[in-house]
Amino acid sequence: MRNARQAASDAAQDWMTSFWSAASSAQAAAVTIALRTPILIQAACDPFAWPARREALRATTEKWEAGMEGAIAAFGATAKLWTHLALQPGDIGSFASGLNAVADAATRPAYARVRKNARRLSRG
């Protein structure tokens, strides 16, 4: 078991890493929304705009995929956390790190997709 000061420092570092990852993903999401909006409007207005319709389908299916992948990863991280806590009760540092690992596992697929979409759509 680590001392309280080291556990607090590790937890703060984990949360700051998560914060910056979320901030960069928010920027990528804004780029994706700005670049996808005209494509989605074209898909809604022109029934024969097949590239736009494919992009609209892609936009909806990838959200479902990211959500399911995040849920499965969060379930696995939660099981790992509870198993660790059952074997070493009272380790508050591991509990804080485990909670951050659950949040990170749940959001990682969405972060990856939004960054990939921003790169793909900004290339043209």
Q: Quick: pLDDT tens for 44-100.
A: 999 899 999 999 999 999 999 999 999 999 999 999 999 988 888 877 778 888 888
In terms of C-beta distances under 8 Å and separation of at least 24 residues, what long-range contacts does 16-24 make, across chains too?
Answer: 18/100, 18/103, 18/104, 21/104, 21/107, 21/111, 22/107, 22/111, 24/115
What pLDDT score was predicted for residue 124? 66
Share of the chain above pLDDT 70, in %: 97
The secondary structure of residue 1, as a DSSP letter, is: -
Instruction: Please report which confidence band the pLDDT of residue 5 belongs to, taking 50, 70 and 90 as the band edges.
Output: confident
25, 103 in Cβ contact below 8 A? no
| Predicted TM-score (pTM) above 0.85 | no
